[in-house]
Structure 1
Amino acid sequence: MKKKYLLGLFFFVFALGAVIHYRTPFFQQEGGGWSIGYGQSVGYPAKIAVDKNSIYSIEKLKAENDSTVFLADPFFVNEKDTFYLFFEHKKNKSNADIGLLTSVDGKKYTYRGTVLTQKFHLSYPQVFKYKKDFYMIPETKQAKAVLLYKAYRFPFDWRICDTLIANVALVDPSIYLSDSLNILVATDYEKNMYLYQADSLFGKWKLHKKPIALIGTEARAGGRFFADKKGLILPVQNCAKGYGYGVSLFRFSFHDGSYSAERETPFYLMANENIAAFNAGMHHLDMQLLDATHYYYVYDGNQLASNSRKLNIRGPLKWSYLDLKNWMVKKWEYFN
């Protein structure tokens, strides 16, 4: 009886491990340097032609700054016929800074140097215009706060002007501001995406009464909110096959003081084995409507460091548990 029990337990564990490995492989490839891609389209792109768009590669930036380790998390602002592209710039030191590329046509970019450096790590520089001034909300998790910066000499001279959320360590904060809706999402280390709301940018940011929007391998923002005719879409990282593998699009719908967040387009961007710069994965998208018909977008991707794979047991087990938890929470909400 004991032998039969152990045999059954073995097959159960084996089957469970096979399912987890299928969803989130235990053997994962190691990524190397990140690069930035960009392009534009007439009308909303059902699919971005990454293979036909331009790439500002890590090799190109290394030619201008030989201490470069990677460039990632691109956000852009189009102001007075100039594209200002802000990005996370990791050099040969412990923390990353915020760098800047500029272009007069959106096709050829020039490196302009570092625009913001702090004693802590910086990334994810979401830059936006609000009432004639330019602001930035980068990832400042090491400062244990979501900090707001203002440009006093755009695109340079960025200084802290407010603390939006204090005493938290959150990654990739993404904000959306309008006359009727002001929200901000950010994620903790346990893969919980929280949603905050306020009356305005400088209002008091509080957790929504439904505080957790997403949980698990798709619970970390991968770019700016953008609006279409149906409402709001948020790019969200998909880490099922390891960090930075792909980007899915989630639809956020707000009604009667509550909201829903549902995946609308899985793997809108993902690892592309035919593009060397992006063959390990893609994890960020900033897409904006320039005029009535033209969209412009910037994104990033990661290149494989080698073809070898490393064993990772803890990650897939944890991510699968969180995905199961998220599924159970959604089922509970549906039936109640």
Structure 2
Amino acid sequence: MKKKIIIIIFLLLSIIAILNYRVPFFHEIGGAWSIGYNFSKKFPNKIEIEKNKIYSVEDLKKISDSTQFLADPFFIKEKDSFYIFFEHKKIKKHPAEIGLLTSKDGEKYSYKGTVLKQKFHLSYPQVFKYKNNFYMLPESQGANNVILYKANKFPYEWTIEDTLIANIKLKDPTIFLSDTLNVIAATDSNTNLFIYTSKSLNSKWELHKKPIAMIGTEARPGGRFFRDSKGLILPIQNSKLGYGSGLSLYRFQFKNNVYSYEKIKNLFLSKNKSFKEFNYGMHHLDLQKVDDRYYYVYDGNRLETNSKKFNIKRSIKANFYDLKNWTLQTILK
């Protein structure tokens, strides 16, 4: 009997150790978010944060003193100007809005205020140009719909153009449009990354025949689809150390209505102790080719306190979803 008890205790302690190793019971607490950015002559295999410029929450507070944070930056270059759209939290109890920074050279930015405000929370303002019109696909899960906006007078005056996916709360919908492929990747509250496809931007968006791509601690988009010489890459948030703690890169391949993916860069972005703005973690990247160079913007947040928060429920849940994801991918293979 004593031997059985020892074995059971050993197994329980082993399970607890594994759970804690994968997703720690104690995790750091993140605070305010800021934005970093820079140019690169070639496709950046590594983001050298120490060489880049930062537009911090303090920079914005000098202009908008009620600012809580700025996050989820997406940029677009139009004619001779750069535009960064970002999630802007001004007042704690009010929903976040979409703010705008502009620049002539991509190095020195000016704050232009709020460009989109709704009764519900807005974030993740993916702005893109499609058939000579400017659109924004933000996170709008507070409206229980994935809502597309159109600029009547770019970069201002955004109005609802269409509801692409109705009656579902989806986080960080990320869109890719081309002549041969139209895809939206988005995640629900149970960390299921869904894949939707359509014939065009305004056609009916439907779940792919393999609707769930992944589940768990790496299953939420963290920026625009972008291309390298081998195809499409999607940034995916890593939340093992807490929300917003890291970002990995996955390559997606779509062919004949079938898709596959593989992780190509684990923790491409993560905390950097050398910078207070990013000493907790990073969770977003927008990388595009501009003229003959690459340009990228990203975000990160700082430690709110030196203490840590205990949350065993989060660890058990995250590990369960990761095990579910591993099982799903193993069966599919």
Give the corresponding residue for 1:56: 55
**What CA distance in whole angstroms lies between the structure 2 residues aligned with 1:83 and 1:36?**
15
| Mapped contact 1:214–1:261 kept (Cα < 8 A) | no
Q: 1:118-133 counterparts in 2 under 5 A?
A: 118-133=118-133
Deviations 1:10-69 (A, max 9, x none): 211111111111111110111111000001101101101111100000001011001100
Query: Percent identical across equivalent pairs?
Result: 58
Give the corresponding residue for 1:15: 14
Deviation at 1:229, TM superposition (A): 2.0
Give the corresponding residue for 2:27: 28
Deviation at 1:256, TM superposition (A): 2.7
**What CA distance in whole angstroms lies between the structure 1 residues aligned with 2:78 and 2:5?**
67
Deviation at 1:4, TM superposition (A): 3.3
Q: 1:1-336 counterparts in 2 under 5 A?
A: 1=1, 3-92=2-91, 93-291=93-291, 293-334=292-333
Deviations 1:97-121 (A, max 9, x none): 0000000000000000000000000
| Mapped contact 1:145–1:169 kept (Cα < 8 A) | yes
Q: Report the AA paired with residue 322 of structure 1.
A: Y
Deviations 1:199-250 (A, max 9, x none): 0001110000000111110000000000122110000000011110111000
Q: Report the AA paired with residue 286 of structure 1.
A: D
SS in 2 for 1:305: strand
Structure 2: gaps spanning 5 or more residues: none
SS in 1 for 2:68: strand
Structure 1: gaps spanning 5 or more residues: none
Q: Report the AA paired with residue 119 of structure 1.
A: K
| Mapped contact 2:28–2:241 kept (Cα < 8 A) | no
**What CA distance in whole angstroms lies between the structure 1 residues aligned with 2:284 and 2:138?**
14
Cα RMSD of the aligned pairs, angstroms, is 0.8
Deviation at 1:6, TM superposition (A): 3.0
| Mapped contact 1:71–1:90 kept (Cα < 8 A) | yes
**What CA distance in whole angstroms lies between the structure 2 residues aligned with 1:89 and 1:128?**
19
**What CA distance in whole angstroms lies between the structure 1 residues aligned with 2:188 and 2:231?**
26
Deviations 1:161-212 (A, max 9, x none): 1000000000000000000000001000000000000000011100000001
Stretches (4+) displaced over 4 A: none
**What CA distance in whole angstroms lies between the structure 1 residues aligned with 2:169 and 2:241?**
25
| Mapped contact 1:149–1:161 kept (Cα < 8 A) | yes
TM-score, structure 2 as length reference? 0.98
**What CA distance in whole angstroms lies between the structure 2 residues aligned with 1:257 and 1:132?**
28
